[in-house]
Amino acid sequence: MNQKIFIKTFGCQMNEYDSNRIYDTVKKIGYFKTDNYEDANCFLLNTCHIRDKAKEKVYHEIGRVKKSFRLKKKPLIIVAGCVAQAENQEMLKREPFIDLVIGPQSYHKINDTILDYIKKNKKIEETEFDVVSKFDYLSKIKNDSGKVSSFLTIQEGCDKFCHFCVVPYTRGPEYSRPFKQILSEAKYLIDNGTKEIILLGQNVNAYNYQGLKLSNLILEIEKFSKIKRIRYTTSHPKDMTDDLIEVYKTSKKLMPLIHLPVQSGSNKILNLMNRKHNIEEYLKIFDNLKKINFNIEFSSDFIIGYPGEEDQDFENTLELIRKVKFINSYSFIFSPRPGTVAADLKLIDKKISMKRLEKIQNLLFENQISKNKYLKNKIINVLVENLTEDKTKVFGRSEYMTSVIFNGKKEDIGKIVPVEIREINRSTLFGISTINSNQRVA
Ligand code: SAM
Ligand code: SF4
Ligand code: F3S
């Protein structure tokens, strides 16, 4: 009998990629994807540990599933991802409804783990760091989760140890996948309809496989004639090397939006965070890229209220935002994480952090709105991804990742269509297709 698996994914794009690869893997043992968890015989939670409450969210979610299955046969419950890595055995002890706990570097063992569990009915925790075997295994399983825009993980883990962050502990040391393995996955995705590849890694620009870097990978993927757009995320300023900056001069397919988290505009705070770069170095990258192409835009992550952040430090962050005019950015209040250096530092007053968060978000929203307003009545290129839910329009993305909805057709999916923007809000642009018109594309 075919089994049905439902995966609920939290956290970053790498978790999303992993969830899709798990779907590709478990169908080999007869577990097929369902979009309705009440139909599932197997429920997998792919978790994120980046901020507090992550763990509680897992138990809350399991409580919900428990309730729904009260009068039915208990589904197989698997907890995967970064909380699984951080909490492992403890989870099995605290919540008997959980059957298996699998860390992010052990997914290649998921089929054996499930089969073993079914055979012996014994709970299993699998949280070894075995990243080489993981990607060796995954390269033999076809990536059938590709869409018009597909994720492709090329790098995992982190050696940087920012004082606030759990990633080096949950994902392990930096590892770069073999160059050819990535190209063959890219080819498979492209042969199956992918038009945009988003290269992923916790430190994607630290990619280095026997001297081959992210810049080499971009230029190689670009050679596939059917690929239209290439992006990469998330980058660390320290790894924004000259070769990568130079690619922006030659590449025709690399998109002009760079997600380059800075966290704070204050050198004092960057130092306390152990970020290994300062604002002057960050602005140098900004200047160099703007010189190559003035249309390149930056997005970023900000941590507000890091221990030691004073009014002046926060002002410096606002000043940086005014200078760089970040779009599409994320900002969160510092959340102390167990096991990290910053876990026990003295927190600043919550009310002050909240006020600062509101201020920074308003400024980031203003940037976004003014960028979107500027596009009104202009024509932009949109890569069409799918029909809207009511099927009357199509959804796609601009070169800057902004959502665009317009009067396209099903046949437009996978194509780049020039769209004249008529209406905007902070997150979405609305327009009409200008195909057949001779207007210039912005
Ligand atoms: N490697 C990337 C970098 O260094 O920029 C970031 C990866 S991390 C998964 C994504 C974002 O989560 C970080 O840029 C940071 O802003 C945020 N983050 C990480 N730990 C945090 C914490 N303890 N509290 C609040 N935000 C946090
Ligand atoms: Fe976390 Fe810092 Fe590594 Fe990014 S570079 S994943 S923020 S430790
Ligand atoms: Fe979260 Fe792990 Fe990604 S902690 S942000 S799922 S690397």
- Residues 309-323 have pLDDT tens digits of 999 999 999 999 999
Write down all domains in the chain, each with its CATH number in brackets. 3-130 (3.40.50.12160), 133-371 (3.80.30.20), 376-433 (2.40.50.140)
- Rounded to a whole number, what is the distance in angstroms from the first to the last CA of the chain? 54
Tell the residue nearest (CA) to atom 16 of ligand 1: 301
- In this prediction, residue 24 carries a pLDDT of 95
pLDDT at 439 over 50: no
Q: Which residues line ligand 2 (CB under 6 A)?
A: 158, 160-162, 165, 167-168, 202-203, 236
- Angle CA(301)–CA(307)–CA(312) in degrees, nearest 5? 75
Give the ligand at the shortest distance from the Cα of 337: 1
Q: Are 31 and 76 in contact (CB under 8 A)?
A: no
Our answer on whether the CB atom of 83 is closer than 6 Å to any ligand 3 atom is no
Flag the least confident range among 52-66, 102-116, 159-173. Answer: 52-66
Mean pLDDT over 148-169 rounds to 97
Q: Which helix (H) or strand (E) holds 373?
A: helix 350-374
Probe target for ligand 1 pocket from 165, 204, 235, 309, with the most ligand atoms within 8 Å of CB: 165
Q: Are 68 and 38 in contact (CB under 8 A)?
A: yes
CA-nearest of 251, 261, 242 to 167 is 261
At 215, is the secondary structure helix, strand, or coil?
helix
Which residue type sits at 42?
C
At 374, is the secondary structure helix, strand, or coil?
helix
- In this prediction, residue 440 carries a pLDDT of 42
pLDDT at 330 over 70: yes
- In this prediction, residue 56 carries a pLDDT of 85
pLDDT at 146 over 50: yes
| Cα(361)–Cα(332) distance, integer angstroms | 9
- In this prediction, residue 357 carries a pLDDT of 98
pLDDT at 375 over 80: yes
**Which of ligand 1's atoms lies nearest the C-alpha of 342?**
23
pTM: 0.95
- Angle CA(221)–CA(226)–CA(230) in degrees, nearest 5? 45
Mean pLDDT over 208-235 rounds to 98
Q: Which residue has the higher pLDDT, 167 or 37?
A: 167
CA-nearest of 263, 187, 196, 168 to 413 is 196
